[in-house]
Amino acid sequence: MSTPVLLAIGVGGILLLLLLIVRFKVNAFLALLITSILVGLAAGIPLATIPATDDSPERLGIIPAIVAGMGGTLGSVAILVALGAMLGRIIELSGGASSLAGRFTKILGPRRVSGALTAAALVLAIPVFFDVGFIILVPIIYGFSHAAGLNPVKFGLPIAGIMLAVHVAVPPHPGVVGGAALLGADVGWLTLLGILIAVPLGVISHFFSKWLNRRDFPMLASTKEMFESFGGADAPVTTMTGTSTRTVAPPSAAMVLTLIITPLVMIGLGTTAATILPAGDPIRNVLGFIGAPIFALLVTVLLAGYFLGVRKGWSRAHLSEVFESALPPAAIVILVTGAGGAFARILTESGIGTALADTLLATGLPIMLLAFLVSLALRAAQGSATVAILTTAGLLSEAVVDGGFSSLQVVAITLAIAFGALGLSHVNDSGFWVVTRYLGLSVADGLRSWTVLTTVLGLAGFAGASVVWAVVSATG
């Protein structure tokens, strides 16, 4: 199928999806599945899987591709979302989230809270994957928002923005590390310059989000239900022991903060071990297991159940009910996110992303601009920032390796690719659905806010990488 036809199908598929969700109010999960099937048919993806031969690789059929995309996304997201929801629920019902929010609001003042949270998110995002870190911070976002009487998007949008920026550009995150390996970029310089550029991006995320939030975004009903259950900062908590009830003070802010930091520290240990210890080292294996996000969150949920529930007098039955009550709202996030992964897989299998990249490669643009635009185009076409970085690095690797560039110039090219993958997060990105569902944004409002924010941060990051390129090139 020709490149113009594939590009037209890709654009038509995204427009159809938006039309179904925004205009006709079709459930997002159903709309994603319907659009995935129609795009697959239009792009010529086979109805059934075609086995691999000596001359061609295996081609997934439409339904197997949807299943693979959904399964691949849910494999990394579903357990994390469920455990994160449980952690948030027990912190919420114990009074812990509002306690923490009330304490910090009194210390920092309402005007400084958003900036402080954004700065903290920048640091926390270095060792932790974007979706994991954001899910862990959701109880804090809700708690502070409730204490300040604000929509959670006011605090959550800048936090999510800077966390994604760090995720795409700062090692040890997989996309940028893999891209560095393909291009031969120095990981030490990449880390240093990536963090250096991320700092002003944090400032931009804070102030640009404040500008985006000048308008009020109506909250989705499903998110509103979760958000409104948060009590006041000093509210007592009613607990159950057997058939009796008693009122106790909420947990301290220090206790809640410790529980929030625990999985981040565990994940950080695993990440550090993987960076400095050789493969096969027993200590690396142990710390890698301890630092696995699923294990870290599971341990934290159990600790929260004991310290915020059992020690406060909750019965085992009541604690179980609390955990179960977290799952229905989380199921919405999980299913929609998985369907977003399915749509992304269909776009990948169709060859739309490859067609777009080939079109840009044929333009003869300067290497920095080409690196940014190809990555941005792939990000928009298939959704995954990591895939966009790795694919772009692979497409440009020969040109970079044979181009006679200095070590720092290669680092600048790698950063241009990384920040290209930051922009244009939209409906085919599973992260889009995680952020918008937790912050209560409709698809239209998500495009007006989250998509715009990620694109502005991507452009700003590319500007920072271009400054590095200019300085390095000028100094020889």
- Choose between 393 and 248: higher pLDDT: 393
The pLDDT of residue 326 is: 81
Question: Are 213 and 157 contacting, i.e. CB atoms less than 8 angstroms apart?
Answer: yes
Residue 170 carries which DSSP code? S
Distance, first Cα to last Cα, the chain: 45
The pLDDT of residue 42 is: 95
Name the token pair of 76: 């990394």
In 170-290, which residue ranges form alpha helices assigned H by DSSP? 174-183, 187-212, 221-228, 253-276, 282-290
Q: How many whole angstroms separate alpha carbon 267 and alpha carbon 300?
A: 12
- Choose between 459 and 140: higher pLDDT: 459
Dihedral (CA of 162, 164, 169, 174) sign: positive
One domain for residues 386 and 427? yes
Tally the domains of the chain: 2
Residue 320 has pLDDT above 80, yes or no: yes
One domain for residues 154 and 283? yes
The pLDDT of residue 352 is: 83
Q: Which residue has the tokens 């910090």?
A: 104
191 in any annotated domain: no
One domain for residues 299 and 437? no
Residue 241 has pLDDT above 60, yes or no: no
Q: How many whole angstroms separate alpha carbon 231 and alpha carbon 225?
A: 13
172 in any annotated domain: no
Going from the C-alpha of 372 to that of each of 19, 215, 308, 407, 459, the distances in angstroms are 29, 31, 47, 18, 9
One domain for residues 228 and 292? yes
Question: Are 257 and 100 contacting, i.e. CB atoms less than 8 angstroms apart?
Answer: yes
- Choose between 231 and 243: higher pLDDT: 231
Residue 314 has pLDDT above 70, yes or no: yes
The pLDDT of residue 476 is: 67
The pLDDT of residue 130 is: 87
The kind and range of the H/E element at 244 are strand 244-248
One domain for residues 305 and 339? no
Q: Which amino acid is at 320?
A: S
248 in any annotated domain: yes
Pick the closest to residue 237 from 303, 301, 318 (CA basis).
318
- Choose between 279 and 445: higher pLDDT: 445
- Choose between 187 and 6: higher pLDDT: 6
The pLDDT of residue 261 is: 85
Q: Which residue has the tokens 């993958």?
A: 421
Q: Where in the sequence is the domain holding 409, given as residue range(s)?
A: 3-48+58-69+331-475
One domain for residues 297 and 317? yes
178 in any annotated domain: no
The pLDDT of residue 145 is: 86
The pLDDT of residue 404 is: 86
- The C-alpha torsion from 182 through 183 and 186 to 187, rounded to 10°, is -40
175 in any annotated domain: no
The pLDDT of residue 240 is: 45
Residues with Cβ within 8 Å of 419's Cβ and at least 6 positions away in sequence, in order, are: 165, 168, 169, 197, 372, 375, 457, 458, 459, 461, 462, 464, 465
Q: How many whole angstroms separate alpha carbon 93 and alpha carbon 95?
A: 5
The pLDDT of residue 108 is: 67
41-74 pLDDT, tens per residue? Answer: 999 999 989 898 888 888 899 999 999 988 877 7
Residue that terminates a domain, selected from 296, 327, 358: 327
Longest dimension (CA), the chain: 77
197 in any annotated domain: no
For 245, the 3-state DSSP assignment is strand
pTM: 0.77
- Choose between 194 and 225: higher pLDDT: 194
Residue 121: CB atoms within 10 A of its CB come to 26
- Cα Rg for the chain, rounded, in angstroms? 23
Q: How many whole angstroms separate alpha carbon 329 and alpha carbon 220?
A: 12
Residue 447 has pLDDT above 90, yes or no: yes
Q: Which amino acid is at 217?
A: F
The pLDDT of residue 274 is: 83
User: What percent of the chain lies above the pLDDT cut of 70?
Assistant: 93
Residue 440 has pLDDT above 90, yes or no: yes
117 in any annotated domain: yes
- Using 50, 70 and 90 to split pLDDT, how confident is the model at 169? very high
| Mean pLDDT within 399-421 | 91
Q: Angle at CA 407, nearest 5°, toward 403 and 413? A: 65
One domain for residues 227 and 315? yes
Q: How many whole angstroms separate alpha carbon 228 and alpha carbon 418?
A: 37
Q: How many whole angstroms separate alpha carbon 322 and alpha carbon 95?
A: 13
192 in any annotated domain: no
Q: How many whole angstroms separate alpha carbon 142 and alpha carbon 70?
A: 28
- Using 50, 70 and 90 to split pLDDT, how confident is the model at 235? very low
Residue 242 has pLDDT above 70, yes or no: no
The pLDDT of residue 244 is: 42
Residue that terminates a domain, selected from 264, 299, 327: 327
For 450, the 3-state DSSP assignment is helix
Pick the closest to residue 151 from 222, 105, 217 (CA basis).
217
One domain for residues 447 and 358? yes
Residue 52 carries which DSSP code? P
Name the token pair of 163: 């966390």
One domain for residues 299 and 317? yes
Question: Are 164 and 251 contacting, i.e. CB atoms less than 8 angstroms apart?
Answer: no
One domain for residues 432 and 469? yes
One domain for residues 241 and 321? yes
Residue that terminates a domain, selected from 327, 359, 391: 327
The pLDDT of residue 369 is: 95
96-140 pLDDT, tens per residue? Answer: 766 766 676 677 666 788 888 888 888 878 877 788 778 888 888
Going from the C-alpha of 182 to that of each of 32, 234, 275, 396, 472, the distances in angstroms are 33, 53, 18, 9, 21
Pick the closest to residue 165 from 215, 136, 206, 211 (CA basis).
206
| Mean pLDDT within 329-341 | 77
The pLDDT of residue 399 is: 82
The pLDDT of residue 423 is: 94
Q: Angle at CA 87, nearest 5°, toward 86 and 89? A: 65
| Mean pLDDT within 211-222 | 90
One domain for residues 239 and 375? no
What b-and-e string marks burial along 245-261, b requiring 16 or more CB atoms within 10 Å of the CB? eeeeebbebebbbebbe
Residue 400 has pLDDT above 90, yes or no: no
Residue 93's Cβ-side half-sphere holds a number of Cα atoms within 13 Å equal to 24
- The C-alpha torsion from 304 through 307 and 310 to 311, rounded to 10°, is -170
Mean pLDDT for the chain? Answer: 85
Residue 246 has pLDDT above 70, yes or no: no
Name the token pair of 126: 């270095």
